[in-house]
Amino acid sequence: MFVLKGRIIDGTGNSVIEKGVVVVEKNKIKLVCKEYEYRTPEGVEVIEVEDGTIMPGFIDQHVHLGMGTVNSMLMYTMTPYEKTCQAVWDMEKLIEAGFTTVREPGGFAHQLKGPIQKGLVNGPRISASGKILTQTGGHVDVYKKFPIELNEVTLLGVIADGTDAVRQAARMQFREGADFIKTCTTGGVTSQGNTNTASQYSISEIKAMVEEAEMHGSYVAAHAQGTRGIKNALVAGVKSIEHGMFMDEECIELMVKNDAWLVPTFSIAHMYMENIDTLPEWVVPKIKASYEAHYKSFEMCHKAGIKIGYGSDFLGDPSICPYGKNSMEFERLVHAGMSPMEAIVAATKTGSEIIMRADEVGTLEEGKLADITIVTGNPLENINLLTDADNIKIVIIDGKIRKNTLNENKINSIVV
């Protein structure tokens, strides 16, 4: 057992305890209360957080581990072994930045769960979709100069056309350990041969994926940027819209009707604009055309009360989107119109719902797993405190200390 004392933001969005206590026993939170309500037993380790804030561990709900580049064609130059090493590096950086859980909508992170659980590598909790389902010529089909079968090398997507094929592809992802299904219902900013407003997959094909996911007690997330593709996804029963750049009022109505989530992923778009001279030529016009529309669509969703998650869409590219810097999404969400508290809830409570583990993580409440991040200062007064990994002083996952720069001599001995 050990006790954390200090300011508490519990992730629910309801309150802040300026002088509070979080009691951790084994791998769970035993108690969260005001300091005067708890008497610490003799011999129990106490960590005083004098100029900082105790928070739930952060959840980045849109990452792609081990890809190492924003240029999809260059993914062919990386072997699966190199990508695995890159993913291990990525996960260390994520923990250092306070992220105790990640959701990967497309990739091979589901294959990393076992090594993490065995203690072979250090990593956050993982929720993953396995490979992205894409139609021939779709967003994840990297095809120029390459035969179709080389798509397998990216470890990112699988091509499936027609309802029977997408059913089989969805079943295969669950067979391999996926938690949910990811598909593309539009092109994307990095697509080679189409616009990011072009629609992909018929409603009947998307419905087949949704039905398979629901039979597994899960859902479908859709890369959806263009208006028609967003609508098709929602009509078919997709639960999570990733990006959502070009929404209209009908999209908003469908989002509300379906109680769907939006994971906007502002950070990657922002970094594309900041590094536009280094991008492949097919990316530049699309990011320029969609950047402002992205924020307008978000404003509509926010005003309508749609649940909004936190996703950076980083790939670990060291020059544009390295992990550890994915925490800029906090600042981007506030820039887009959220309050600091709303942005924190997006990265904690809402994130736990999106990964379907709201009963275990996402908030600091009695009985939940002890996933905790401690940051210097008060992020409600300055959200930018969360965007610098140096400000993240302690990270606890499942009751175990994974990072500590607050009091190294004292707290490193606490491993439950």
State which of 65-74, 192-201, 216-225 shows the largest mean pLDDT: 216-225
In a domain, 416, yes or no: no
- Residue 153's pLDDT is 73
3-state DSSP assignment of residue 20 = strand
- Residue 76's pLDDT is 73
- Residue 110's pLDDT is 96
Q: In a 10 Å sphere around its CB, with 0-12 CB exposed, 13-18 middle and 19+ buried, how is residue 43 labelled?
A: exposed
Q: Are residues 107 and 20 in the same domain?
A: no
Q: Are residues 257 and 126 in the same domain?
A: yes
Q: Are residues 87 and 141 in the same domain?
A: yes
The total domain count for the chain is 2
Q: Look over the chain and give the mean of its residue pLDDT values, rounded to a whole number.
A: 93
Which residue is listed with tokens 């604009």?
273
For residue range 39-58, list pLDDT tens digits in order.
Answer: 999 999 999 999 999 999 99
For residue range 386-414, list pLDDT tens digits in order.
Answer: 999 999 999 999 999 999 998 655 544 34
CB 312 within 8 A of CB 62: yes
Model's pTM, two decimal places? 0.95
Q: Angle at Cα 416 formed by Cα 51 and Cα 93, nearest 5°?
A: 60
For the ranges 6-10, 147-151, 222-226, 370-374, which has the lowest average pLDDT?
147-151
| CATH number of the structural domain spanning residue 34 | 2.30.40.10
| CATH number of the structural domain spanning residue 316 | 3.20.20.140
pLDDT above 90 for 280: no
How far apart are the C-alpha atoms of 227 and 248, rounded to whole Å?
A: 7
Q: Are residues 12 and 155 in the same domain?
A: no
Q: In a 10 Å sphere around its CB, with 0-12 CB exposed, 13-18 middle and 19+ buried, how is residue 258 labelled?
A: middle
Q: Are residues 49 and 82 in the same domain?
A: no
Classify the C-alpha dihedral 223-226-232-237 as positive or negative: positive
Bridge partners, 374 (sequence order): 54, 394
How far apart are the C-alpha atoms of 8 and 13, rounded to whole Å?
A: 11
Q: Are residues 176 and 90 in the same domain?
A: yes
Model confidence at 73, pLDDT cuts 50, 70, 90, reads low
In a domain, 124, yes or no: yes
Q: Are residues 246 and 226 in the same domain?
A: yes
Q: Are residues 242 and 111 in the same domain?
A: yes
CB 329 within 8 A of CB 269: no
In a domain, 298, yes or no: yes
For the ranges 69-73, 85-89, 398-402, 408-412, which has the lowest average pLDDT?
408-412
Segment holding 402, helix H or strand E:
strand 400-404
In a domain, 163, yes or no: yes
CB 362 within 8 A of CB 59: yes
Q: Are residues 107 and 32 in the same domain?
A: no
- Residue 74's pLDDT is 73
Question: What is the average pLDDT across 10-27?
Answer: 96
In a domain, 339, yes or no: yes
How far apart are the C-alpha atoms of 72 and 70, rounded to whole Å?
A: 6
Kindly state the percentage of the chain with pLDDT values over 70. 95
For the ranges 27-31, 134-138, 141-145, 400-404, which has the lowest average pLDDT?
141-145
CB 180 within 8 A of CB 186: no
In a domain, 208, yes or no: yes
pLDDT above 50 for 415: no
DSSP string for 258-292: HT-EEE--HHHHHHHHHTGGGS-TTTHHHHHHHHH
- Residue 144's pLDDT is 67
Residue 311 makes CB contacts below 8 A (sequence gap 6+) with 60, 61, 62, 63, 103, 242, 263, 264, 265, 329
In a domain, 202, yes or no: yes
For residue range 245-265, list pLDDT tens digits in order.
Answer: 999 999 999 999 999 999 999
Question: What is the average pLDDT across 313-331?
Answer: 94
Question: What is the average pLDDT across 113-136?
Answer: 96
Q: Are residues 275 and 388 in the same domain?
A: no
Domain that holds residue 305: 58-354
In a domain, 205, yes or no: yes
CB 243 within 8 A of CB 287: no
Question: What is the average pLDDT across 372-385?
Answer: 98
Model confidence at 297, pLDDT cuts 50, 70, 90, reads very high
CA 341 to chain centre: 18
How far apart are the C-alpha atoms of 297 and 244, rounded to whole Å?
A: 7
Question: What is the average pLDDT across 332-359?
Answer: 98
Question: What is the average pLDDT across 58-74?
Answer: 87
Higher pLDDT, 145 or 333: 333
- Residue 414's pLDDT is 41
pLDDT above 80 for 367: yes
Residue 291 makes CB contacts below 8 A (sequence gap 6+) with 269, 273
How far apart are the C-alpha atoms of 228 and 251, rounded to whole Å?
A: 9
Strands (DSSP E) contained in 118-207 are: 125-128, 132-134, 157-159, 181-184
- Last residue of one domain, picked from the residues 308, 327, 354: 354
Model confidence at 323, pLDDT cuts 50, 70, 90, reads very high
- Residue 72's pLDDT is 65
Q: Are residues 92 and 207 in the same domain?
A: yes
Model confidence at 192, pLDDT cuts 50, 70, 90, reads confident
Q: Are residues 391 and 347 in the same domain?
A: no
- Last residue of one domain, picked from the residues 325, 354, 383: 354
Question: What is the average pLDDT across 114-130?
Answer: 97
Model confidence at 77, pLDDT cuts 50, 70, 90, reads confident
